[in-house]
A and B are shown apart, each in its own frame.
Chain A
Amino acid sequence: MRYILGLVGAVFSVVLLISFFSNVSTYLTSPPPATAEEEFHLHPKHLSLASDGPFGKFDKKQIQRGFQIYKEVCSACHSMNLVAFHDLEALGYNEAEVKAIANQWQTEVPTVNPETGEASTRKALPSDRFPSPYANETAARAANNNALPPDLSLITKAREGGAAYVYSLLTGYRQQPAELIQKFPASKTPQGLHYNPYFANLNLAMPQPLTSDGQVTYAPGNPKPTVDQMAKDVAAFLVWTAQPDLENRHAAGLSIAIFLLFATILGYLAYRQIWYEAKRAVRITGPLEPENQAKSRRAKAKQGVAG
């Protein structure tokens, strides 16, 4: 049986080596062509938010500003179907304010006319989720050059790089580099798409949403609404929508870590205590005891015996 198994192993290994050499020879004879994405795609810029790190907490003022950006800019195209209006109370809005925000929301919520039974819309209530500006996916695609604006509830968890990616994307729009067009003429940004090196394939359907400083007016006492500031604020807001549990999680984690650390120390001391006698009991003096070995080495050296 060992021979059969040895043969199986040899067959797999040989096929793998054949694959390896054919792979290497293909690579050497016809190396894969370089692509514009490989050369021009950028990793997200650094972004530091109050919610970062193990002790991170939400900066509610910043998240409120981010919510304002979402309300006035993003929500024109993007839904947020996992977050309800009353969740905003966690950001420091009171019940009446939340009610007003829901009531004045630009998109109404689909409903059924109670008299005729026909499809209709009504004003949003605090218990409603942020409604989608489009009736359905087809309508959304029709209005956006066949691209579907993703729901934003989980966006900072659903993209590599998280909040930093959102921030980089929002501030990353630029002219396509002449160098790129020169090197990869086929990769010229197509009509209707927009060049952005932070997007995986460099061209995305969403036009630059934050175009100029002061596009949104912040309440007094807030920083100047530059494009950079607005992008940071909305990224912070989207961290909150994706992980509303973050603050609770960090607080609970800290106490649980301290508890477990304490349990570990107590458990270790108990272990030492319990094993103390057991360890003594086996340490009878034997020829392998380091002390005895040293003794025998000394004795041997004295007599001039090698080894």
Chain B
Amino acid sequence: MSFSWAKPYEPKQPFMRWLDERLPLPRLVYGAIGGGYPVPRNLNYWWNFGVLAGLFLTIQIVTGIVLAMWYFASADGAFNSVEHIMRDVNAGWALRYIHMNGASFFFIVTYIHIFRGLFYGSYKAPRELVWMLGLVIYLLMMATAFMGYVLPWGQMSYWGAQVITGFFSAFPLVGEPVRVWLLGGYAPDQAALTRFFSLHYLLPFVIAAVVVLHIWALHIPGSSNPTGVDVKEEKDTLPFHPFYTAKDGWAAAAFLTVFALFVYFAPNYLGHPDNYIPANPLATPAHIVPEWYFWPFYAILRAFTVDFILPAKLWGVLAMFSSILILFFLPWLDKSPVRSGSYRPVFKRFFLLLVLDVLILGFCGGAPATPLYVAISQLAAAYYFAHFLIILPLVSAFERTLPLPDSISSSALHGEKKEAAPAGITPRRGATAIAE
């Protein structure tokens, strides 16, 4: 699709020729993830996480469909039906633990994928739509994960639903009616549980559809790369298959090994013990916390403690939603023509600060709301907004970037370990040199 030297599909077997003439599905696959998609040859391992995210989406859909065969979306029976899966269904505990930890791992790989995009400027022209579709996927993932967490109908499910739908009531006038309408009642109950189940089953397929758009939009300019320099000639690229299928393949096996260690040896490490207590509308847990992947946003929500013109709760909700929405404007906030952070010394420092900042926000969001943690998250949240909306535009206007390499293949001369090394900076000694 993307480059003139992309190999066209040539059916080798008569059946494939027959099929290709009638329905060019093999041609589509070949051009998308086969030998017909040329990819920059210098991608590093940060580029593996997109494929891994696709893998985890598949795992979640497959295990989810089987779980739904046993799950019973009823306020009286949901909790026990999950326990029935855990105790009586053949390998039900494995299915359920894979699905439960799979959600966490889906977020882990997605966060790495997002931060890779942030560092290497993958959101910049001509890939703005790739970035924005990715954010849409991320928003859909958050909605799906939240509703999935409600389904076991444990204490955290119930109170999480209570708190998160409560966001809407922060808005004046319309807020409370909207909340009641969304829940189908004044508090989470049967109506909310049934609709959450219905949507939890629907949204993954919407995600899959947006993933198709995400990949489609990506394949127009082709993948970015660690130097951020555009592909110029055939030498700069390698066909996706077999080169990147091989690289993604072994990375996927390695990552699944880590995943398996969690599923089989620490399945509840990432969860909260309170969710093994059946939902009880009359007993509020001491600390209501969402799943770990929402902690940074939860910290931003709780950081607003002063009624300044608007009520604090409304500030919190607005800021929490904005913290993701501003990412949609990123291609226009960061106008630096240099994509890769490797060639942007000032940007690189602020990027590392942002990573640290989000980790601090995450930690504070998971911790109880003591004055100390709230104070830390206030500073961290202030930095978060300042980073994207003030610092990034200024940096991109004033920064002096390092000289870029002439092309991907001249950068790749350093050998794979230093493939992203900026030109003009001596690669580390001992970088492989196989003389021709």
Mark A residues whose CB is within 8 Å of B: 1-2, 5-6, 8-10, 12-13, 15-20, 22-24, 26-27, 32, 54, 82, 87, 150, 153-154, 157-160, 162, 200, 242, 244-245, 248-250, 252-254, 256-257, 260-261, 263-264, 267-268, 270-271, 274-275, 278-280, 282-286, 288-291, 293
Mark B residues whose CB is within 8 Å of A: 41, 80, 83, 86-87, 93-94, 97, 235, 238, 242-243, 246-247, 249-250, 252-254, 256-257, 260-261, 263-265, 267-268, 273-274, 276-277, 286, 303-306, 308, 312, 315, 319, 322, 326, 329, 332-333, 371, 374-375, 378-379, 381-383, 385-386, 388-390, 393, 409-410, 412-416, 423, 426-427, 429, 431-436
**Inside 8 A of B381's CB, which chain A residues have their CB?**
12, 16
Question: Number of A-B pairs whose CB atoms are under 8 Å?
Answer: 199
Which of A257, A279, A288 is within 8 Å of B257, CB to CB? A257
Complex Cα distance, B413 from A283, in Å, reads 5
**Inside 8 A of B427's CB, which chain A residues have their CB?**
288, 290
Given the interface pairs A23-B305, A159-B273, the reply to whether A275 lies near B247 with Cβ below 8 Å is yes
Question: In the complex, what residue of chain B is closest to A56 when comparing beta carbons?
Answer: B265
Indicate the member of B252, B264, B431 with the most A CB atoms within 10 Å.
B264
Complex Cα distance, B419 from A288, in Å, reads 12
Indicate the member of A9, A162, A274 with the most B CB atoms within 10 Å.
A9
**Inside 8 A of A250's CB, which chain B residues have their CB?**
264-265
Complex Cα distance, B276 from A12, in Å, reads 38
Indicate the member of A17, A82, A271 with the most B CB atoms within 10 Å.
A271
Given the interface pairs A12-B319, A257-B261, A260-B256, the reply to whether A19 lies near B433 with Cβ below 8 Å is no
**Inside 8 A of B409's CB, which chain A residues have their CB?**
282
Chain A contact residues, majority secondary structure: helix
Which of A23, A159, A280 is within 8 Å of B375, CB to CB? A23
Complex Cα distance, B325 from A106, in Å, reads 61
Complex Cα distance, B246 from A278, in Å, reads 13
Contact B242 A18 (CB under 8 A): no
Question: In the complex, what residue of chain B is closest to A26 when comparing beta carbons?
Answer: B371
Which of A27, A157, A264 is within 8 Å of B276, CB to CB? A157
**Inside 8 A of B434's CB, which chain A residues have their CB?**
279-280, 283
19 pairs of residues in contact across A and B, judged by CB atoms under 8 Å: A13-B382, A15-B315, A22-B305, A157-B268, A245-B86, A268-B254, A270-B249, A270-B250, A271-B247, A271-B249, A275-B246, A275-B247, A279-B434, A283-B433, A283-B435, A284-B436, A286-B413, A288-B427, A290-B427
Complex Cα distance, B260 from A282, in Å, reads 37
**Inside 8 A of A257's CB, which chain B residues have their CB?**
257, 260-261, 264
Contact B273 A157 (CB under 8 A): yes
Contact A12 B93 (CB under 8 A): no
* Closest 9 pairs (CB-CB, A-B): A9-B389, A253-B264, A267-B250, A158-B276, A245-B93, A20-B378, A16-B382, A264-B253, A260-B257
